[in-house]
Every structure is written in C-alpha cells, then in structure tokens.
Amino acid sequence: MKRFGIGAFGAAVVIALTSCNGNPAGASQSLFEKYGGAATVRKLVDDAVAGLLADCNIAPYFAGLGKPGNGTAERVKSCLRLQFTAVLGGPASYPGRNDQGDMCVDMTTAHRNLGIPGPVFDRFITDLAAVLKADGVSDADINTIAPVLVGLKGQVVSTNPVTLSSCPR
C-alpha cells in the first residue's frame, strides 16, 4: 500500500481537534456528532482542500494536489477524512488506513520536504478558520480549536523554508 501525507491542513486540524476525541459516556456529544458525522467531514475536507488550492500563497506548496487525474488529491482527502473523523470523536483512529486502503503518515513526515515557512502556515490557519465558519462550525468551537492549531506550527513549518508564490505581482 502507498503511504500519503495530508498537507498543512490535515496537520493543523488533526492536532487541533485531538482534544475533541474520546467522548466519555454521559458527556456532551462529540464534535463529529454535533456537526453531522461523515457527510460533514467530507464537506469540510473538500472545502478546506479547495480553499488551500485557491490561495496563491499556499497552493504552490501543494502543487501535486491540483493536478487533475493524478489521484493524489483524493488520497490526501481520504487521509484527511480519517483524521477529521478520529479527532472529532468519530469511529476512527489516526494514523491508520484511510477509506481507500492506504496508510496515512504522521504530520511531521507529511510536511518534511515541503519547505513551508511560518507566514504560510499562519495564512493557512486564517484560511482554515474561514472554511470552518463558512461550513457552520460555531465561533466557540473555532476558538477552542485555534490555540491547538497554532501549537502545531513546529511540526509543519520547515527548518529550511522556501519561498513560493503564484500570486500576481
């Protein structure tokens, strides 16, 4: 089986939402349940990846995701769905096998050769918050997630960053 990383989006969200995983009996519902389960996870992932690829400051770091027909985007989305399900307290564990049968890698491995600089990570966090809000995640839940996302920066940002941009000058 092939192993795939999930990119900055997955890195941030997985760690950020881990605190939502594990819902003890009698506790309030998990975020997975609160936001509609697998169908919502699929939409969040699709929208987040579309947002990532639409941002000219972030997209160049994930150029392979946007190439039609290469299958990479679907494999990455599948790992993201696995992660989102697990971290939102749904029926999955990460890392593990995604819904395509591939093994998903940890965040450090997934970002090892991407050369992501700090400002690109920061921009991604802003974009992700906007996607979550647009998809109906409450401000309170976004505010709960945000500090954990920021704490993930060291696992995503490269020690040898490169500057890439497709933004018009």
pLDDT tens string 128-142:
889 889 999 899 888
**Can you give the pTM of this predicted structure?**
0.76
> Is residue 62 assigned to a domain?
yes
Q: 147 falls in which pLDDT band (50, 70, 90)?
A: confident
> What confidence score (pLDDT) does residue 150 get?
81
> What confidence score (pLDDT) does residue 11 get?
41
Report d(CA 166, CA 169) in Å as an integer: 9
pLDDT tens string 3-56:
444 444 444 444 344 334 444 444 588 888 999 999 998 998 899 888 888 899
Q: Say how far residue 159 (Cα) sits from the centre of its chain.
A: 21
Domain range enclosing 22: 3-156
> Is residue 129 assigned to a domain?
yes
The mean pLDDT of 94-118, rounded to a whole number, is 89
The mean pLDDT of 91-101, rounded to a whole number, is 89
Q: 113 falls in which pLDDT band (50, 70, 90)?
A: confident
Q: Check which CATH number belongs to the domain holding 42 and give it.
A: 1.10.490.10
> What confidence score (pLDDT) does residue 110 get?
85
> Is residue 168 assigned to a domain?
no
Least confident of 24-38, 93-107, 113-127, 145-159: 24-38
Least confident of 41-50, 57-66, 104-113: 57-66
pLDDT at 1 over 50: no
Tell me the DSSP string of the chain: --EE--HHHHHHHHHHHGGG----TTSPPPHHHHTTTHHHHHHHHHHHHHHHHH-TTTGGGGGGGGSTTSSHHHHHHHHHHHHHHHHTTSS--SSSB-TTSPEEPPHHHHHTTS---HHHHHHHHHHHHHHHHHTT--HHHHHHHHHHHHHTHHHHS-SS---------
> Is residue 143 assigned to a domain?
yes
Q: How many domains does the chain have?
A: 1
CA angle 93–134–71, rounded 5-degree value: 50
> Is residue 169 assigned to a domain?
no
Place of tokens 């696995």: 82
pLDDT at 143 over 90: no
